[in-house]
Each structure stands twice: as C-alpha cells, then as structure tokens.
Amino acid sequence: MFKYVIRKILYGFLVLFGVITTIFFLFNAKPGNPALMVGGQHATEEIIKNIEKDLGLDLPLYQRYFLYLNDLSPISLDNHNPESHFYLDTAKYGDKHKVISLTSNTDIVVKSPYLRRSYSSRRDVWEIVKEKLPDTALLAFSAVGIATILGIIMGVISAINKGSFYDTSTFIVAVAGMSAPSFFVAYIVSTVGGLAWAEQVDLPAFPFILMFLFILVGVIQKYVYPNKAIDISTKTILEWGFKGLFIGAGVWVVYITGYSIFNFNDIDLFSYSIPLPGTGLNPDGPLVDFDDWTGEEVYFWKNLILPTLTLGIRPLAIVTQLTRSSMLDVMSQDYIRTARAKGLSEYKIITKHALKNALNPVVTAISGWFASLLAGSVFVERVFRWNGLGNELVTALQNDDLPLIMGAVVVVSSFFVVITIAVDIIYGILDPRIRV
C-alpha cells in the first residue's frame, strides 16, 4: 500500500510539472513585452530595461523557466548577490521561510511557493488567488451538490423504469445538457431567470392541458376497457402526466420556432398562458457587494442560484447517466436476485444493496468534476459578474498578466491532482485489486 501511495503522489507531481511547463512556454512564446504594460506607453527605454531586469525578462527563456521553478518550489537555491535574479530577497518570500547555508554564497531556502506579483496590479498573486478562490469554491460546491443529489435520484428512477418514456426523455435531456456550451447556457439562464422571469412569467398552457388530457384518457381507458390490464396507481398517473407534459412542451417549442421563423398562423390554443410570480433574481451580480447607503459588505445569497444552476447542468447530466448505467449493471447481479428471493421489498433492495454498490463510478465523476468546475467556471463567472477566480483569470488573459495566469493555473491544477490522488488512494484501500 505504501508503494502504491508513493507512486500516485509521484504521478501527481509529474502531471503538475507538465502543466506548469506547458503553460509557461506557451505564454512566454506569445509576442509582446510585459514591461511595456507595467511601465505604460510613456515609459522611456531606460525605465523599460529596469522593469525587464526586475521581472527577469532580460534573461534567456530557459533561465526564466528555471527561475520560475525556483520561486515555485518549496525548496529553492538562492545566493547573496544583489545583482543576481536568484538573490535571497526576504521581502519576496515573507517572514515564513527557513534558510540553510550551503556555501558562503549559496543558501537552501525552505518556504511557501512564491507565485510572484501581478504585472497589472503589482499585488502578490497568492493574495489575489486567496481572495477570489472562496467564491469560486462555493460556486463549485453548490453546483456539484445539486448535480449529485438530483443526478442520483434521476438516475435511479431512470434505471428502475428502463425503457419507459421517462427513461428515454431523461436520456435526451442528459445529452442536451452534456452538449450545451457553458457560455451559451449561462446567457440563456441569465436572460430567462434574471430578466424575463424576474417579475412575472407567462408559462404556456398547452403542455399542462396535454398533461391533464393524457391522465384523463388513461383513466377513461380503465373504465371503457375493464378487461385491459391498466393499473391506475400513483406511479402510472405520474408517468401519463409526465409524458403529456414532455410532448406538449416539445410541440409548443416547435410551434413557437415556426411562428418566429416561418410566420405560422396564430393558433389560440398555443397562445393561452398561465401567469406565475417572478423569481426576484438578478441577471448578474456577485455574492458580496457593498451597500450603497452604509458602505458595508452585504451577502446576496440569491445571486448564487442562477450561476449554480448553469454550472451544474453538465455534471447533472453525467451523474444521471452514470447512476443509471451503474444501477442497471448492479441490478442484474446474483445477490440482487437472492435478495428478491428472500422477499425483501424493492425499496430495501435499491437503497441498502444496489445503490451503495452502484455509486463507485459516480464518486469518481463527482470528485473529478469538482476540480474541473474550479477551472471551468470562467465563462459562467464572466456572464454572471461573479467575483471569483474564473472572472479574475479572464481579466488576466486580457491583460497578458502571466504571473496571475500561471498562479491561477497552478492552484487549480494542484486541487485537481490532490483530489485525484485522494480518490485513487481511497479506492486502493477499499479494493486491493486496484493496487496491482
């Protein structure tokens, strides 16, 4: 087990090293001089050269790379020469570092990773990341939490009702959720939830009319054809209603599309609507903002709803399909048949036996998605004006702020690697076969 853990940790460091190397050379290969951005358009040539020396831009690319690794590493080699870029600057590393003398001119420094300073704001990159990361982490936790709970429930229901209309429609919705780009969904959710539905929304009445019509036809069939095996139960009525609602919504969307594009004739049945009260949500807004009157920080928790729904759509689709496929595989196992033969209720079989064993791939997907959402929330945060790391990263990309870009990528990659290693280690403990 010890060798397995060490091997996973070494793999994690190799992945992190590859990400850092790729991002560093990719952005340093771009044309342009960051010193011009720091000094401004009116900076003289002498000022530009001094800024280049201060930022290490006067060095060859490979030396700048080793200098960055030296700053980033928790154990670095520094010297006592003030003219050197490897000079031991206590202001750079802060108070929390330990110096071990190696030679008269070289020291080994044990420190926290130094992410350098932002080109545009000249602030410490770690301070910026530490300030923005909590809002992004909260958004990612909320999205993963909703996706996990709803995805498992929908996946279990879909597996139990395999081949039903609900199962087919869930698959269609899941494929659409996995295919939709985040920025596209963000604009739709922001417009519908924060603008069109902010005060009042008129829902089309046709899908609900078709829903009640399907239920009515099913009940009538029971009494018109008494010999026909039609079971009128809560489950059956819900299935009829869901089928009518889903088909009605699809027909209404086709009509609205044709009416808008091809100028279909106006049909009164499709024009009826049901007024509903608005959501009261804003199309955008940060979690923490300042009150205009008092100037104090105020938490606007309702601003979390729309970006959470947007960010959770894709993992919801993934979790739903994984739960469904895993449940179908588990439900065909011998011990499930044995449990049914013992007379256990279907509820106990699903909750105590099947679901527990079907969640292994779901846990893997959830852990990976949480780390991915930390990086994938860039477009969502931008659309909803969320004051998180993703929004800060977009601004850094626009300004060619390499230290801030590198710092954000390093932090997010570290989260991804740590979570992946933790999940692999837990699997290795639960199932020894994985260690082989």
Q: Return left, alpha or beta for 263; rule: phi > 0 is left, psi -120 to 50 is alpha, else beta.
A: left
pLDDT at residue 431, rounded to an integer: 59
* Phi, psi of 291, rounded to the nearest 5 degrees: -70, 135
Residues 6+ apart with CB under 8 A from 138: 287, 304
CB 137 within 8 A of CB 381: no
The total number of residues shown for the chain amounts to: 436
273-277 and 200-204: which strand pairing? antiparallel
Question: CB of 97 within 8 A of CB of 111?
Answer: yes
The DSSP-derived string for 349-398 is IIIIIIHHHH-HHHHHHHHHHHHHHHHHTHHHHHHTT--SHHHHHHHHHH
> What pLDDT was estimated at residue 225?
64
Number of other residues whose CB lies within 10 A of the CB of residue 360: 15
- Partner residues linked to 275 by β-bridges: 202
Q: Taking a C-beta distance cutoff of 8 angstroms, is the pair 381, 408 a contact?
A: no
Q: What angle do CA 41, 42, 48 make, to 5 degrees?
A: 80
Whether residue 236 contacts residue 284, with contact meaning beta carbons closer than 8 Å, is answered with no
Cβ atoms within 10 Å of 411's Cβ, excluding its own: 21
Report, in this order, helix, strand and coil percent for the chain, each rounded to 5. 70, 10, 25
What predicted TM-score, i.e. pTM, was given to this entire model?
0.77
Provide the 3-class DSSP secondary structure of residue 188.
helix
Kindly state the helix (H) or strand (E) to which residue 144 belongs, with its residue range: helix 125-160
User: Per residue, what are the HEC states of 337-354?
Assistant: HHHHHCCCCHHHHHHHHH
Quote the CA–CA distance of 61 and 324 in Å, as a whole number: 51
pLDDT, position 357: 78
Of the CA atoms within 13 Å of residue 100, those in its CB half-sphere come to 7
246-261 burial string, b = 16+ CB within 10 Å, else e?
A: bbbbeebeebeeeeee
3-state secondary structure of 110: strand
Q: What is the mean pLDDT of each run of 10 residues along the chain (436 residues)?
A: 79 87 82 68 72 75 86 83 75 74 80 83 87 87 89 88 81 81 83 78 84 84 65 74 86 79 73 78 80 74 88 87 88 82 80 79 75 73 86 83 86 82 72 59
Question: CA-CA distance, 233 to 317, in Å (whole number)?
Answer: 29
- CA–CA dist 27, 38 (Å, integer): 17
Per-residue confidence (pLDDT) for residue 77, from 0 to 100: 82
**Could you give the count of Cα atoms lying within 13 Å of 89 in the half-sphere of its Cβ?**
13
Q: What is the pLDDT, as a whole number, of residue 376? A: 63
Query: Shortest CA distance to 256 belongs to which of 200, 202, 185, 198?
Result: 202
- DSSP codes, 310-340: HHHHHHHHHHHHHHHHHHHHHHTSHHHHHHH
